[in-house]
Structure 1
C-alpha cells in the first residue's frame, strides 16, 4: 500500500496538478502505440509501414517529452513503485507455493514396463542432441522412435503399448504429441511422464520441468512425485495447454507456418482481421455470452497473463478444474486505441468457466489444438476433465514457482494491511469466477 501511495505522490510532488497532463500524455502515447500495432497487423502496404513507424515513434516521443521537461526520472520512479505495489499485493494474497509436489504423492514403486515415445524431429532434434533414447533405455524404458519418413498414428502406438503391458507412458516431443498420449494414459489410469523435447513445451514449463535439460525429466521414474492434473477437451480432442479459435487457428493452417512463423503470420493476418474471410466467433462460457470475436483462446486452467495465442504466459496451477478464456474483439482503429483502458475496453476479455461453447457461421471450425491444426464440427464444446491425468515429475524441479493472484485485489489488500479480517473468496462453482472478479465488459 505504501508503494501504491508513493507511485501517486511522486508525480504530484514533481509537477503538482500538471502531473495529470503528463499522465494523459503517457496514455495518449500508449493509445497511439496500440493504433500503430493494429495498422501493422491488420493492413498491408503504406498503412502497415505507417503503423510500424507509429508504434515505435509514439513511445519514444513521450519519453523524449518527459526527458525535455524533467519528468522522465519521476515517471520511471512512479512506474517502478507501481510495479512493486502490484508484485507485493499479489504476493500478499498468494496461497503459497504452486509447486504441485506439495500436494503430490511420493512414488514408492518403480514402473516395471515403462514405454516412451520419442519424436526425433521435435525441438530441432533434441532427442538425438541429448541422447534421450539411450538414457531412457538405461533406466529400463522401452523406446519407440517415430519414423520421420512416414505418418504414424500416435494414439494407436500408445494403445498398442498398453495392450502389450506398459504400466507407464512417456513422451519426448512437443505438446501436441504429449496430449495424444496423455489421453491414452488417462483413459487407462496409467502414470504419464513429460520429457520436454519440443520447441516450446508449455506443459513442461507449467509443471516446473527444466526445458533446457530434457533428460532430467527421466528422474521421475526413479525419484518422482505423482500429481493429479486436469485435461482439457475440445469436442473429443484432448489438449494439455490450449485450444485456439479464430485468427491464430487460421494462421496455423498455412503449410508455411511451421518454417516461417512470423512471416506467415504477418502475411495472413490482414485478411483474417479486416478482410471478407475474417472470422466472427460467438462464445458461451457458462452463463456469459460474447459475440463478434476475432480470436479466442480456451486453456486447460487459466493463464496468469496472456500475451498472444502463441505465448500465453504461465498457469499458476493445473488442477483448478476450470478452463481459462481469453477473447479478442478489435474491429477498427478506435477499438485498438481503447484497449489501453484494459478489461473495460471490451477489446480483451478474460474469464474462467467450466464449459465453453464456440461457434461461427459455418458447419466446421479450424482449431489449433496445442499448436496442431484440426477442423471440428461447429459448435465446439470445450470442457475440463478435473484430475484426469496422473503425471509423474522429478522431486526437484527448477521451474516450480511461487504463486501470485491473477490480479491485485486492492480493497482486500487494504483490509489486510489494516489488520482487518476478511472472508476467503471461494470460486463460484457455476460461473467459475471468484466472488470478487468482474463480469464481462460491455
Structure 2
C-alpha cells in the first residue's frame, strides 16, 4: 500500500497493461510497413481513409437530400466500403489490414484496463437506511409492456407493508398531487414503478419533503434505474430496498422548474418526436423531416449557453443530469455517477458535407462540444421550442433554463444491485503514457476517494 492509499499491486498492474497497450499499438502501426512497405502503407491509408470519408459524405447527403439524389447517396455509402474491401483483396493486403486492426483493438482493450478508475471513483457512497414504516408506491400497469402485472409488483409490495396506487385511468391522474396527498397522510417513502418521466415528478415531491425515493425498474428503457445499478430484467428485486436497503444521495435536474432525472434534448430529435406522424411511422417521419432540420430550413435557430461557453446555431443539444461518458454523444449509455453536482451538455453542429467529414476527423472543433456546468440556457428565435424531457415531448417557453440540484434526492436502493460497475474510461494517450512510463505514484497526498 502506497501513501495515496492505492495497493502497489494495483499500480503495477496498471503499468503492465499500459506498456502492453503500447506494444500492441506499435505493432498495429508496424505491420503494414513490414508487409506492405512504405508505399503500400501510404496506399492503404489513402484508400482506407478515402473510403471512410466518401461513406460519411454519402450518408450525410442521404440524410439531407430528397428524391433521386438521396437514394444515389445511399448507394454510394453502401458501395464505397465494398470497393475498398475489393481493392485490399486484389492487392493481397486484406490480411495485413485485418491483422493491424486486431492489434489496434488489443491495444484499446489493454489501454482501458490500464486507465480503469478505482471503484471508489465510479460508485456513489452508500448510507445506512432503516426500513420505512409507511411506504407509498405509484405503479403504472401500462408501463414497460405490463411489467407491473407480469412481476406481480402490487401484491409483493403490499406484502412488504407498502400502500400501492395503480394509474389505471381512464382519466389522467396528477401524480404530483397524488404524491403530495400521500405525504400529508404520513407517507415516509415515495416510490414509482413506471417511466422516467413519472419517476421525475414523484422524485421532485420526495426531494421537497426530504423523503426517501424508491425506483422500481418497470419502465420501457429504465435509464435512471440502469444508472442506479438496479436489475432491469426483474423489477421485483427493486422492492428489496424496502426491508434491506441503503440510500444514495443523487442530484436532480430541473428545466424551467420541471424536474428531470435523465436528460433534456433540443433541436433535431425534439422536433422529430413532436411530429404527430412519428408515433405511426418513425422511419418515414425521420427521413421526411431530417433534410430541413439538418440544413436549417426548418425549426428554430438555437443558442446554447453552457456556463461561460456560447454555442450558436447547434442542430442538437443534449443536457443531462450529470455527464455521460465521453464516447456517448446521444445519452444512450450510462452515467457512472449521479452525484457530481454538474450538468452534462453536448451540442452538435453540422451544416454541410465538409463539416460532417471534419467532425469525423475531429477537425471541426466547433461542430461538437462536450462540457459540464451548473447551468445551461437554451434560447431560440421563437417564443416556444419543443424539448424532449426524460422521453416526453414538451413545448417550453424560451429561454429554457436547465439547472442542477446537488444531493436533492435520497434514493433508496437494494443493498445488492447487479448493475453497479464502472463506466468504460475514455481513451487518453497522455494518461496512458504516464501510467506506463511516468513516476510511480508512491508519493503524494492521500486520495479522497
SS of match in other structure, 2:247:
strand
Q: 2:214 aligns with which of 173, 186, 193?
A: 193
Structure 2: 5+ residue stretches without partners: 1-21, 445-449
Aligned equivalent of 1:2 = 23
Deviation at 1:184, TM superposition (A): 1.0
Render the CA deviation track for 1:10-34: whole Å, top value 9, x for unaligned: 2222222221331232222222222
Change in Cα spacing, 1:325 to 1:101, as seen in structure 2 (3 Å) is closer
Aligned to 2:243: 222
Match of 1:181 among 198, 202, 209: 202
Does the CA contact (< 8 Å) of 2:323 and 2:345 recur in 1? Answer: yes
Residue 245 of structure 1 contacts residue 368 of structure 1 at CA under 8 Å; is this kept in 2? yes
Q: 1:178 to 1:363 in 2, by over 3 A?
A: same
Residue of structure 1 equivalent to 2:74: 52
Question: In the aligned structure 2, how far is the partner of 1:190 from the partner of 1:258?
Answer: 37
Task: Give the corresponding residue for 2:51.
Answer: 29
Query: 1:194-241: CA deviations, max 9, x gaps?
Result: 111111111111111121111111111122221111111112111111
- My pick for the range that moved more, 50-59 or 296-305, is 50-59
Matched, 1:79 2:91: no
Structure 1 residues 47 and 345, CA, compared in 2 at 3 Å: closer, same or farther?
Answer: farther
Normalization by structure 1: what TM-score?
A: 0.89
CA distance in 2, matches of 1:99, 1:122: 34
Query: SS where residue 370 of structure 2 aligns?
Result: strand
CA-atom RMSD in angstroms: 2.3
Instruction: Give the match for residue 229 of structure 2.
Output: 208
Task: Select the residue among 94, 105, 110 that pairs with 2:116.
Answer: 94
Determine if the alignment matches structure 1 residue 120 to structure 2 residue 120. no
Alignment CA distance shift 1:419-1:347 (3 Å): closer
String of CA shifts for 1:44-97, please: whole Å, max 9, x gaps: 322322233233222232223223323322323322333333343333233312
**Residues 192 and 391 in structure 1, CA contact (< 8 A), matched pair in contact too:** yes
Q: Is the 8 A contact 2:329 2:346 kept in 1?
A: no
Match of 1:334 among 354, 363, 366: 354
- Alignment pair present for 1:140 and 2:161: yes
Written as runs of structure 1 = structure 2, the 5 A alignment for 1:6-405 is 6-17=27-38, 18-97=40-119, 103-107=125-129, 109-274=130-295, 276-305=297-326, 309=330, 312-342=332-362, 344-405=364-425
In the alignment of these two chains, the number of paired residues is 421
Structure 2 Cα separation of the partners of residues 343 and 193 of structure 1 = 45
Match of 2:3 in 1: none
2:424, 2:258 → 1: CA distance?
31
Distance 2:291 2:120 in 1: 40
In the TM superposition, residue 344 of structure 1 has moved relative to its aligned partner by: 4.4
Q: Alpha-carbon deviation of 1:277?
A: 1.6
Counterpart in the other structure of 1:433: none
- 1:305, distance to aligned residue in structure 2 (A): 4.6
- Asked if residue 415 in structure 1 is aligned to residue 428 in structure 2, the reply is no
CA contact (8 A) 2:124 2:248 kept: no
Query: What displacement does 1:143 show?
Result: 0.8
Distance in 2 separating the partners of 1:297 and 1:101: 24
